[in-house]
Structure 1
Amino acid sequence: MLGSDFELYTKNLNNARVVFGASVIVGDDNFQNIINSCFTFVDKSMLIKEFIESLDFVSLILRPRRFGKSTNLSMLNYFFKIPYSQEENISNSRLFEKLKISTEKEIIQKHFAQYPVIYISLKDLNAVTWDKMVEKLRILLAKIYREHRYLIDNLYSDEQKKYQKILNEDSTELQLSFSLQKLSMYLQQYYKKQCIVLVDEYDSPMEHAYNKGYYEIANNFFKNMFSSLLKNNSENIAKAMLVGILRITKSGFLSKLNNITIYSFHQENHKDSSPLYLDKFEFTSDEVELLLSLRKNLQINNVQSWYNGYISGESIHLYNPWSIIRLLSCGTLRTYWTDTGSTQILEKYLWKASSSFKESVEKLLKGESIINIKIQDDLQYSHLNKNQDLAIWILLYYTGYLAINSKNHLFIPNDEVRSEWYRWVVNVPFFTKGVTIESMLNCLLNENLDSFKKEFAQVITDTFLFYNVKGFYSEKNVEFVYYAFYLGMFVNARNRGFTIFSNRESGYGKYNITIFSESNGYEIAIIIEFKVIKKNKNLVDMVCKELDQIEKKKYRAGLHKDIKKLFKLEIIFEGKKFYVLGCLLHKTDEGIWISD
């Protein structure tokens, strides 16, 4: 066994405890494997105490992916489940010897190894059709029934037949939907004790069902399964904990449950009670400080900037645990968590949102927070189909791409997540076909207007095809181009040390983008305007008039004194046509601007 000769040791800092092992483990969320293989473990065992002492019948824990949910549920399973033998009982008790919960003698005496447990993970229930998902469900439930095969001899003959059908993966959908409720009844009858139910990634099947187009039928099935298990079944169930990413109770398959308590990041502190589980699924600052003793080359300030930023219960600052573990393994500050999951739903709807949504994205990328958005406790997938901005904000928050501060303002939590936002901006569809904002920016910096025109023409075609807009070029459709173009410019210019400003003067018809450098040696500044004009106007006269406005409107205001060149572009939309016109100005030694 890996590390079996290593002697575990513990370190404490305030309320934090870390059990240090031979190395850290990446990707294994089995609590028994982590402890027995002598891997370093952040002690979250007081979760057990909070779970036992809570008055909740069903606790629903909502956290982003890879935030410690599966490991914690595995820990609960090994703590509560009745062992099959005395040897297993001793083995399981040793798992908790160095953890905080071992000091809670009354809890150990009354609750350790005292419950039949139904422990199920739905994370692998992904399928292209509902029939395929049902096949996977039959396999999963057969596995769970097989773990309790000893129950068969205690059942009546008709019950034995039903049990055997689940084992043989030969059950109907209706039998599947009641299989967990039946199992809880069989376990209670056998042990004369109520069960504890633990469900990992309870919402994962619904995400796949939504993506593949069979959401309604899946929703109805799981609604029956969970209501039969957790509603009006208290004679068989003592407590339950479900963990996942999104709350889909009001509109989804938990809608029939009226005995469920939700625990998300944004729980509010109350005078008479403290919310549960605030620091049990992520790493606290003290825990990270203890862990960084394994990597002397890493500075806490840099680690904080990259992976901190999540706030629980209004005041507890937390780190992304997956990224911290990967950081300890690799030793390099880089993206880890954002490389591990699909953002299919997010990217599908992000760029179909309203203009105000895109303006808010601009603020987020500048490091500002967003106000006046109240995160609701429930997500309705139908709202995404209607392109409702609020549904997108809710999805971004619950999936970890935004956090909420003590003032209930939304913000991007850290540099790692910010890099994913930049990727979304740069990967707007037209950026992936050989034409990139970076290359267009290079054209402008190199004063190559002809190349810019060609690449921008490709941008226009691909963008409008992507948005499937009707009416082709119009004031509203130009808005799509502008925001995608501006945000891409913002990301690339900012990453290269430029300052960039945007000023929408009125309606959708006129925009200013100003790009200039203060420190990286570039002597050129760029000003871009978007315009929508009516047909039959004299473009030459209009462009000359607009270019003359450089002096009158003081476009140069705020530019660095070392700027020697000013590239002024007009991007004009007229009906189904567009024009890119430019003018390059030089500043003389006397400080006078003249055009080429």
Structure 2
Amino acid sequence: MGDQRVTMLGSNFEPYTKNLNDARVVFGASVIAGDDNFQNIISNRLTFVDKSMLVKEFIESLDFVSLILRPRRFGKTTNLTMLNRFFKISYSQEENDISRKLFEKLKISAEKEIMQKHFAQYPVIHISLKDLNAGTWNEMIAKLRIHIAEIYGEHRYLINNLYPDEQTTYQQILKKTSDVSELEFALKTLSMYLRRYYEKQCIVLVDEYDSPMECAYNKGYYEVANDFFKGMFSSLLKSNSKNVAKAMLIGVLRIAKSGFLSGLNNIKVYPFHKESRFPRYVDKFGFTSDEVELLLSLCENWKISINNVQKWYDGYIAGGSIHLYNPWSIISLLQDGILTTYWTDTGSTQTLEKCLWKASFSFKESVEKLLKSESITNVKIQDDLQYSHLDENQDLAIWTLLYYAGYLTINSENHLFIPNDEIRLEWHRWVVNVPFFTKGVTIKSMLDCLLDGNLDSFKKEFEQAIVDTLSFYDVGGSHSKENAEYVYHAFCLGMFVNARDRGFTVLSNRESGCGRYDIAIFSESGGHRMAIIIEIKVVRNNKNLVDVAREGLNQIVEKQYRAGLHKDTKKLLEIGIAFEGKKTCVLGHLLHRTNEGTWNKDLISA
């Protein structure tokens, strides 16, 4: 099913465009998540959401350095590779023609003056720092030497136009033998060489500018890394207007003032929540509602409503009013056809989880509001993030980190809230995984019991976790009837989804047998012989809690949910969980598959 959705049209298909208000989508032969290179997307005829008017906004801005902050997987790399391809001077007429063809179906191609004056008219320094992950500072410097050598290698034609001493320096960079001080000034030096050769100032594009600093913070060498990158960026972007025309830096966190960009006084920062009479870049990162509506025309026959897509992936707000979807999740949805978590599975939350362990009691109270779908009104996001504040246990720094990382958003009234269901599941996971919230009972411990088939221990730990954590959720108030079933399901899914880290597949609300199970945990190969099917019920009409749990367990059997299990599955846990307010009952049985293929019951937990 997944492959059928990925390749939707034949290899000879000619891409076409569709417009809706200001939105344009170029529909290609395939929809694929994972390729974030603009040239690859267009050349391979993949579906592309047209963000090319970013070029015009960048050109027309008066900023020398534009720093754009968005969560990961929000189209930042694709946009930067697009800018690189647009501005970069071609080495030949053939390459120029190829570059021009990349933009022929995009909106920027209709901007005749911009195309004439700016297309393929600049030397470009394009550097990505997102892969500079290293356990030590020496390892990071070694990786940076390799990376800058590759950038210098793209411009080998410069060597013959350099003075002898400059040629020596250039060769040292290429051979990866430069010392740290030479490396610190390597990009500024390259900008000078390019400006002299072309007699034009450079465009500088920096992807994931903040990635090295988060790694350095987590690995314990933040100060030395901060000093180095401060020198590197100051030399390139401060008092270097002779060689650089404009620069765009993109990343996740705002560390401009306290970090390595603190030496720059000519930088304009564009976070999500920045409001202006003349907004810039607000709809250029992330998908707008019109763009998603166009994309969903690809799956008109699917049983997925736009309202459910909104609940799962909408909710980010830019400029106070523009609603945005997470691009990675939408493309993954088009590829897989399942409403589930995509974005939260793509990145590390090491820094965030480390901070959550240190939060204050008032932070915990605010989390209670968030998980009851309320907003926080007494927190003001910092204009700048200082990693030292994280170590000093300052809640405001943690809220700031959560906001910039995409786990919260801000509305026009400056209230913080969780943007959508996908992100809410990650919050559920945090709440039951951090002893700060659960008094010591963690997901790891519960999963150990569950995946080992130890029903009695799982029952005890699960019920204790419910007592400890359901104070965070609105399951007993005036709106509990409407809200409780969703909250219980999201709570459990947020907990059990961690089985993916152990090689299991975790699915929710999928058809199997004669109905839809709530949660299933299993392996599609023979690598794991354990499978678990869970049915969640909410007590209504004064029924008995144990009877309702038994109804859930019986439903698994009666509707034959086990029918879809892999033939190599040898052990199966079927579990019915009933909730009533903050009380719960877990019933289940462990089964073994015989050599004849039938299931024999081993144990009943009550």
Q: If the TM-score is normalised by the length of the shorter chain, which range does it land in?
A: 0.7 to 0.9
Residue 521 of structure 1: how far off its partner (Å): 6.4
Answer yes or no: is 1:284 the counterpart of 2:291.
no
Match for 2:255: what amino acid? I
Match for 2:296: what amino acid? L
Residue 406 of structure 1: how far off its partner (Å): 1.1
- After superposition, the C-alpha distances for 1:412-444 in whole angstroms (9 at most, x for unaligned) are 0000000110111122253235347999xxx9x
Following the alignment from structure 1 to structure 2, what is the Cα–Cα distance between the partners of residues 26 and 521?
47
Residue 452 of structure 1: how far off its partner (Å): 10
Residue 223 of structure 1: how far off its partner (Å): 0.2
Distance change (3 Å), C-alpha of 1:136 and 1:363: same
Following the alignment from structure 2 to structure 1, what is the Cα–Cα distance between the partners of residues 146 and 473?
46
Q: In the alignment, which residue of structure 2 is the partner of 1:163?
A: 170
Which residue of the other structure, out of 386, 401, 405, is the alignment partner of 1:399?
Answer: 405
Which residue of the other structure, out of 65, 77, 84, is the alignment partner of 1:77?
Answer: 84
Match for 1:284: what amino acid? T
Answer yes or no: is 1:321 the counterpart of 2:342.
no
Distance change (3 Å), C-alpha of 1:112 and 1:457: closer
Which residue of the other structure, out of 13, 20, 31, is the alignment partner of 2:27?
Answer: 20
Q: In the alignment, which residue of structure 1 is the partner of 2:544?
A: 523
Following the alignment from structure 2 to structure 1, what is the Cα–Cα distance between the partners of residues 75 and 58?
16
Q: In the alignment, which residue of structure 2 is the partner of 1:577?
A: none
Matches within 5 A, 1:88-103: 88-103=95-110
Following the alignment from structure 1 to structure 2, what is the Cα–Cα distance between the partners of residues 3 and 239?
41
Following the alignment from structure 2 to structure 1, what is the Cα–Cα distance between the partners of residues 581 and 46?
59
Distance change (3 Å), C-alpha of 1:517 and 1:200: same
Answer yes or no: is 1:224 the counterpart of 2:231.
yes
Secondary structure (helix, strand or coil) at the match of 1:262 reads strand
Answer yes or no: is 1:149 the counterpart of 2:156.
yes
Q: In the alignment, which residue of structure 2 is the partner of 1:201?
A: 208
Secondary structure (helix, strand or coil) at the match of 1:162 reads helix
Following the alignment from structure 2 to structure 1, what is the Cα–Cα distance between the partners of residues 71 and 375?
20
Q: In the alignment, which residue of structure 1 is the partner of 2:384?
A: 378
Q: In the alignment, which residue of structure 2 is the partner of 1:66?
A: 73
Kept after mapping to 1: 8 A contact 2:470/2:582: no
Q: How does the TM-score come out when normalised to structure 1?
A: 0.76
Q: In the alignment, which residue of structure 2 is the partner of 1:332?
A: 338
Distance change (3 Å), C-alpha of 1:458 and 1:213: farther
Residue 76 of structure 1: how far off its partner (Å): 0.2
Match for 1:146: what amino acid? G
Distance change (3 Å), C-alpha of 1:6 and 1:354: same
Kept after mapping to 2: 8 A contact 1:523/1:564: no
Secondary structure (helix, strand or coil) at the match of 1:335 reads coil
- After superposition, the C-alpha distances for 1:241-280 in whole angstroms (9 at most, x for unaligned) are 000000101110000000000001001132xxx1200000
Following the alignment from structure 1 to structure 2, what is the Cα–Cα distance between the partners of residues 335 and 139?
35
Secondary structure (helix, strand or coil) at the match of 1:60 reads strand
Kept after mapping to 2: 8 A contact 1:353/1:389: yes
Following the alignment from structure 1 to structure 2, what is the Cα–Cα distance between the partners of residues 120 and 89?
21
Kept after mapping to 2: 8 A contact 1:428/1:484: no
Matches within 5 A, 1:232-381: 232-270=239-277, 274-296=278-300, 297=302, 298-381=304-387
Runs of 4+ in 1 over 2 A off after TM superposition: 1-5, 432-439, 451-459, 481-491, 493-499, 516-525, 563-568
Distance change (3 Å), C-alpha of 1:522 and 1:256: farther
Unaligned runs of 5+ in 2: 1-6, 436-440, 477-482, 490-536, 547-578, 585-606
How many residues are matched? Answer: 483
Kept after mapping to 1: 8 A contact 2:433/2:444: no
Following the alignment from structure 1 to structure 2, what is the Cα–Cα distance between the partners of residues 88 and 458?
65
Following the alignment from structure 1 to structure 2, what is the Cα–Cα distance between the partners of residues 223 and 385?
21
Which residue of the other structure, out of 113, 116, 131, is the alignment partner of 1:109?
Answer: 116
Distance change (3 Å), C-alpha of 1:454 and 1:400: closer
Which residue of the other structure, out of 390, 405, 408, is the alignment partner of 2:414?
Answer: 408
Following the alignment from structure 2 to structure 1, what is the Cα–Cα distance between the partners of residues 464 and 138?
42
Match for 1:242: what amino acid? L
Secondary structure (helix, strand or coil) at the match of 2:381 reads coil
- After superposition, the C-alpha distances for 1:157-192 in whole angstroms (9 at most, x for unaligned) are 000000000000000000000000000000000000
Residue 5 of structure 1: how far off its partner (Å): 2.2
Residue 377 of structure 1: how far off its partner (Å): 1.7
- After superposition, the C-alpha distances for 1:294-317 in whole angstroms (9 at most, x for unaligned) are 111221111001000000111111
Residue 352 of structure 1: how far off its partner (Å): 2.2
Distance change (3 Å), C-alpha of 1:404 and 1:566: closer
- After superposition, the C-alpha distances for 1:178-213 in whole angstroms (9 at most, x for unaligned) are 000000000000000000000000000000000000
Match for 2:282: what amino acid? L
Secondary structure (helix, strand or coil) at the match of 1:434 reads helix
- After superposition, the C-alpha distances for 1:14-68 in whole angstroms (9 at most, x for unaligned) are 0000000001121111111100111100000000000000000000000000000
Match for 2:289: what amino acid? S
Kept after mapping to 2: 8 A contact 1:4/1:37: no
Residue 487 of structure 1: how far off its partner (Å): 4.3
Match for 2:299: what amino acid? R
Match for 1:295: what amino acid? C
Match for 1:519: what amino acid? R
Secondary structure (helix, strand or coil) at the match of 2:442 reads helix
Unaligned runs of 5+ in 1: 460-480, 500-515, 526-562, 569-596
Secondary structure (helix, strand or coil) at the match of 2:363 reads helix
Q: In the alignment, which residue of structure 2 is the partner of 1:468?
A: none
Kept after mapping to 2: 8 A contact 1:177/1:224: yes
Q: In the alignment, which residue of structure 2 is the partner of 1:214?
A: 221
Following the alignment from structure 1 to structure 2, what is the Cα–Cα distance between the partners of residues 342 and 148?
34
Distance change (3 Å), C-alpha of 1:409 and 1:174: same
Distance change (3 Å), C-alpha of 1:104 and 1:458: closer
Following the alignment from structure 1 to structure 2, what is the Cα–Cα distance between the partners of residues 382 and 237?
32
Q: In the alignment, which residue of structure 1 is the partner of 2:45?
A: 38
Distance change (3 Å), C-alpha of 1:112 and 1:453: closer
Residue 523 of structure 1: how far off its partner (Å): 3.1
Answer yes or no: is 1:123 the counterpart of 2:130.
yes
Q: How does the TM-score come out when normalised to structure 2?
A: 0.75
- After superposition, the C-alpha distances for 1:280-332 in whole angstroms (9 at most, x for unaligned) are 01100000000001111221111001000000111111100000000000111
Residue 457 of structure 1: how far off its partner (Å): 13
Residue 239 of structure 1: how far off its partner (Å): 0.2
RMSD (Å), alpha carbons: 3.2
Which residue of the other structure, out of 428, 432, 440, is the alignment partner of 2:443?
Answer: 432
- After superposition, the C-alpha distances for 1:74-125 in whole angstroms (9 at most, x for unaligned) are 0000000001111000000000000000000000000000000000000000
Kept after mapping to 1: 8 A contact 2:24/2:291: yes
Match for 1:289: what amino acid? E
Kept after mapping to 2: 8 A contact 1:358/1:483: no
Q: In the alignment, which residue of structure 1 is the partner of 2:198?
A: 191
Following the alignment from structure 2 to structure 1, what is the Cα–Cα distance between the partners of residues 581 and 259?
58
Match for 1:432: what amino acid? I
Secondary structure (helix, strand or coil) at the match of 1:160 reads helix
- After superposition, the C-alpha distances for 1:467-525 in whole angstroms (9 at most, x for unaligned) are xxxxxxxxxxxxxx99657449979x9557779xxxxxxxxxxxxxxxx9663865359
Structure (1 or 2) with the larger CA radius of gyration: 1
Kept after mapping to 1: 8 A contact 2:125/2:204: yes
Following the alignment from structure 2 to structure 1, what is the Cα–Cα distance between the partners of residues 156 and 339?
48
